[in-house]
């Protein structure tokens, strides 16, 4: 009889062809998907070519999504994108996404069914942990490690210990998945789950749609976690139905699995939450934010660029105008999300409110382009990081929030709750 295991341990055991694994074990495991973008991809390609193998391990499982500086912002970014494009063509990769077909990678892969429940996924981007929302193990790795996995189809891991997090109860008005994960990071800190699994559950998660779950797992890395994961349920199965390109495998955690600790939160006690500069752990409830004027509001990214995010944004902006001192820039996560938001009238509402809508791109999240901050400017953003200089000048400031707070703030010209609009 095998020892009781968490969902993460079960995925590792299956991919390492072992009966069981436990926290601390060093294992070699097969990977289902490798992922890189236009920044990390060129480094991985160069390293791959040094290995001396001619072909990637599987041309359907090596994925490239140019999304950080694409559409290209300058000559250097054009050269990087060209290298990824040419390598993908040379290797006959089935999952290379060109401008017009691409989206922000961590919104695109779940949407296209490329990642699914039970997978083991590595990506040369720290927010690869997003796919834990589907019941997969997914984590970010360096470009060199990725290159080796592109060649061999496997890599090594130290099995992480698991912190179980339960969010129970009913969400207050305007409180969303983003507020829950910001609250958690504010509580345990940016190193509170260092190289650990955050297994997220509870009644509030059971009631949450997939868009919200993807948001929560996306920011597991901001607590230092190796991965975030949610045990699959009917919401997961419905999302993956007629979507997954491969058969999903639905693992669950054993009732007597070993956890490092269990954290329980009553979500009725959580307000809309804002992370102040310059760390995601520097959080305050909206009632204690004070009067902070903003120059820019960003809504989108791999954290909050999904349809549910654009819906709440449009609801708040309907019949209103963006404050004359504020630039509102909205980034739908993928082309399909963009199209659906157009059909539903969300894009029209945002433009009528005098917000700017961009093609899907990571853009300003990493200080790439399409929303760079100047010296002394302040932005409210639905992105996932607010480090010094993250979005532009080192003397600019980024405050993290949900789309609801970012939209209301764009209208009022200061960080505020939608309740203040009434």
Going from the first residue of the chain to its last (422 residues), give the mean pLDDT of each consecutive group of 10, the final group possibly shorter.
90 97 96 97 96 95 95 94 97 96 96 97 96 98 95 96 98 97 96 95 97 97 96 97 95 96 97 96 96 97 96 98 98 97 98 96 88 96 91 94 98 96 83
- Note whether 114 and 256 are same-domain residues: yes
Bridge partners (DSSP) listed for residue 297: 328, 380
Q: Judge whether 165 and 199 are in contact, CB under 8 Å.
A: yes
How high is the pLDDT of residue 1? 57
CB count, 10 Å around CB of 317?
Answer: 26
1 part of a folded domain: no
Domain boundary, last residue among 224, 241, 264: 264
- Note whether 24 and 144 are same-domain residues: yes
Tokens found for residue 167: 């969010």
How high is the pLDDT of residue 364? 87
**Pairing state between β 154-158 and 26-30:** antiparallel
- Note whether 259 and 278 are same-domain residues: no
- Note whether 185 and 48 are same-domain residues: yes
Tokens found for residue 307: 């349809």
- Note whether 226 and 364 are same-domain residues: no
2 part of a folded domain: no
57 part of a folded domain: yes
- Note whether 46 and 81 are same-domain residues: yes
- Note whether 173 and 244 are same-domain residues: yes
CATH number for position 20: 3.30.499.10
Domain limits for position 250: 7-264
- Note whether 280 and 248 are same-domain residues: no
- Note whether 246 and 110 are same-domain residues: yes
- Note whether 245 and 366 are same-domain residues: no
Domain boundary, last residue among 206, 237, 264: 264
127 part of a folded domain: yes
- Tally of domains within the chain: 2
109 part of a folded domain: yes
319 part of a folded domain: yes
Report how many helices (DSSP H) and strands (DSSP E) the chain contains, helices first. Answer: 14, 18
Cα distances (angstroms) measured from residue 148 to each of 25, 34, 83, 158 = 21, 10, 18, 17
Question: For the whole model, what pTM was predicted?
Answer: 0.94
- Note whether 400 and 372 are same-domain residues: yes
Q: Judge whether 292 and 415 are in contact, CB under 8 Å.
A: yes
How many whole angstroms separate alpha carbon 334 and alpha carbon 243?
16
Domain boundary, last residue among 264, 290, 309: 264
- Note whether 242 and 326 are same-domain residues: no
Q: Judge whether 153 and 251 are in contact, CB under 8 Å.
A: no
Three-state secondary structure readout of 186-244: HHHCCCCCCCCEEEEECHHHHCCCHHHHHHHHHCHHHHCCCEEECCCCHHHHHHHCCCC
């Amino acid at each position: 009889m095998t020892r009781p295991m968490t969902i993460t341990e079960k995925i590792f055991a299956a991919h390492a062809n072992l009966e069981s694994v436990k926290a601390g074990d060093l294992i070699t495991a097969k990977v289902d998907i490798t992922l890189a973008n236009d920044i990390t991809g060129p480094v991985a390609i160069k390293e791959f070519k040094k290995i001396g193998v001619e072909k990637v391990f599987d041309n359907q499982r090596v994925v490239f999504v140019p999304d950080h500086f694409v559409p290209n912002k300058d000559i250097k970014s054009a050269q990087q994108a060209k290298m990824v494009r040419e390598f993908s063509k040379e290797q006959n990769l089935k999952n290379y996404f060109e401008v017009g077909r691409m989206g922000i990678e961590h919104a695109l892969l779940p949407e296209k069914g490329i990642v699914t429940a039970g997978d083991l996924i590595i990506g040369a981007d720290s927010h690869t942990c997003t796919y834990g929302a589907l019941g997969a193990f997914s984590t970010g790795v360096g470009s060199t490690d990725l290159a080796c996995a592109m060649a061999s189809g496997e890599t090594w891991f130290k099995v992480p210990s698991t912190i179980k997090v339960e969010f129970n109860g009913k969400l207050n008005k305007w409180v969303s998945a983003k507020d829950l994960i910001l609250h958690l990071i504010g509580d345990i800190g940016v190193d509170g789950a260092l190289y650990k699994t955050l297994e997220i559950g509870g009644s509030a998660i059971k009631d949450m749609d997939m868009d919200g779950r993807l948001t929560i797992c996306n920011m597991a890395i901001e607590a230092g976690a190796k991965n975030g994961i949610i045990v699959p349920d009917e919401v997961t199965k419905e999302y993956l139905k007629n979507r997954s390109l491969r058969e999903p495998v639905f693992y669950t955690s054993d009732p007597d699995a070993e956890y490092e600790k269990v954290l329980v939160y009553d979500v009725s006690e959580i307000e809309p939450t804002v992370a102040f500069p310059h760390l995601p752990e520097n959080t305050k409830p909206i009632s204690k934010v004070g009067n902070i004027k903003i120059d820019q509001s960003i809504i989108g990214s791999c954290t909050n660029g999904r349809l549910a995010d654009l819906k709440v944004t449009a609801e708040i902006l309907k019949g209103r105008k963006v404050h004359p001192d504020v630039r509102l820039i909205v980034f739908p996560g993928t082309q399909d999300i963009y199209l659906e938001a157009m059909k539903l009238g969300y894009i029209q509402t945002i433009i009528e409110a005098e917000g700017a809508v961009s093609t899907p791109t990571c853009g300003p999240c990493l200080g790439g382009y399409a929303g760079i901050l100047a010296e002394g400017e302040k932005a409210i953003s639905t992105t996932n990081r607010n480090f010094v200089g993250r979005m532009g000048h080192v003397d600019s400031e980024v405050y993290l929030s949900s789309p609801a707070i970012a939209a209301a703030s764009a209208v009022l010209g200061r960080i505020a709750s939608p309740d203040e609009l009434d």
